[in-house]
Amino acid sequence: MVLQPSKPGLALETAGAWLLAALWILPLAYAFWTAFHPAEYATRFDLFAPLTLQNFRNAWEAAPFSRYFFNTIVLVAMILGAQLVLCTLAAYAFARYAFRGRDVMFVLVLVQLMIMPEVLLVENYRTMSVLGILDSLPAIGLPYMASAFGIFLLRQTFKTIPAELEDAARVEGASALQILLKVYVPLARPVYLAFALVSVSFHWNNFLWPLVVTNSVHSRPLTVGLQVFSSGDQGIDWSIITAATIMTTAPLLIAFLLFQRWFVQSFMRAGIR
């Protein structure tokens, strides 16, 4: 290879890169330390400090985390399911149908890339209250179901699929819906995967809008549940709070560690337009 740093230069850069990585992982490592050790070791480092799961047990018993987990999983699945259907249909129309007003519609869709639902939270709260669905999972999910980002991403992908494939299928007598399901969707599979990963991690982590629109255990997702928990009476017991924090992020973190390559590639793919 060419244009590589000199030997001492490379050593210096390697050291810098690793130092930065250590700095980046430090907060997490510290959180893990605190969560897995008794409270008296929370801020004291001792290699032989006893390991414990008691903090997790305490956290799990102190708040209805099982319900929060259930809510988040249902919420994320509901949003993703709706997004996949709605965005696929719309993207197909934008990519392959020359209907009147298409370009204006498309610009109107793109507006959502700039104005995310959380920016309009006061007005959307009012809408949910008029619809009578405040404090419910659909209220959290509805504003995100028609994702401009998803529509845009899929439209770009569908446009790259040769029209000859569609013509061939049509000659064979396939209907529009069959063409969509048998030709377009399978060919766009990597993009669907990318979109799904980005969507799931976004909605697993989303906080402000769910905070506003929920006010009971029945609809609170994990993020809001965690906030209610850690700003409550437990306010000072850091061991339990970090345990709860790690617990709520664990599924996503484990999935990320297992499918790291996919995650990174998905975020990359989603970012390139």
Does 263 help bind other proteins (rule: CB under 8 A)? yes
Look-up of token digits 């337009």: 273
Look-up of token digits 């430090």: 26
- Nearest distance from residue 191's CB to other proteins, in Å? 14
- Nearest distance from residue 259's CB to other proteins, in Å? 11
Does 264 help bind other proteins (rule: CB under 8 A)? yes
Count of chain residues binding other proteins (CB under 8 A): 94
127, 128, 116, 109: which is closest to 202 by C-alpha?
116
Instruction: Single out the residue of 97, 103, 104, 171 in contact with other proteins (rule: CB under 8 A).
Output: 97
206, 208, 224: which is closest to 63 by C-alpha?
224
- Mark the segment that binds other proteins (CB under 8 A) among 16-24, 53-61, 62-70, 164-172: 16-24
Does 17 help bind other proteins (rule: CB under 8 A)? yes
Does 178 help bind other proteins (rule: CB under 8 A)? no
- Mark the segment that binds other proteins (CB under 8 A) among 63-71, 163-171, 187-195, 255-263: 255-263
Instruction: Single out the residue of 52, 227, 234, 262 in contact with other proteins (rule: CB under 8 A).
Output: 227
Instruction: Single out the residue of 40, 61, 77, 108 in contact with other proteins (rule: CB under 8 A).
Output: 108
What gap in Å lies between CA 157 and CA 162, rounded to an integer?
A: 11
User: Which residues, numbered 229-248, are part of the site for other proteins (CB under 8 A)?
Assistant: 230-231, 238, 241-242, 245-246, 248
User: Binding pattern to other proteins, positions 111-150, x when CB under 8 A?
Assistant: xx-xxxxxxxxxxxxxx--------------xx-xx-x--
Instruction: Single out the residue of 51, 100, 132, 171 in contact with other proteins (rule: CB under 8 A).
Output: 100
The answer to whether 138 and 219 are in contact (CB under 8 A) is no
Q: Which residues contact 98 (CB under 8 A, 6 or more apart)?
A: none
The token pair at 240 is 């339990």
Residue type, 40: E
What gap in Å lies between CA 160 and CA 173, rounded to an integer?
A: 23
Does 41 help bind other proteins (rule: CB under 8 A)? no
Does 187 help bind other proteins (rule: CB under 8 A)? no
Instruction: Single out the residue of 163, 181, 217, 253 in contact with other proteins (rule: CB under 8 A).
Output: 253
Does 73 help bind other proteins (rule: CB under 8 A)? no
Helices (H), the chain: 7-35, 54-62, 65-96, 102-114, 121-131, 137-145, 148-160, 163-171, 176-179, 185-187, 189-205, 208-213, 222-230, 238-258, 260-271
What gap in Å lies between CA 155 and CA 137, rounded to an integer?
A: 28
The answer to whether 68 and 221 are in contact (CB under 8 A) is yes
Instruction: Single out the residue of 62, 86, 174, 185 in contact with other proteins (rule: CB under 8 A).
Output: 86
- Mark the segment that binds other proteins (CB under 8 A) among 54-62, 161-169, 185-193, 201-209: 201-209
What gap in Å lies between CA 39 and CA 57, rounded to an integer?
A: 13
Instruction: Single out the residue of 63, 78, 84, 93 in contact with other proteins (rule: CB under 8 A).
Output: 93
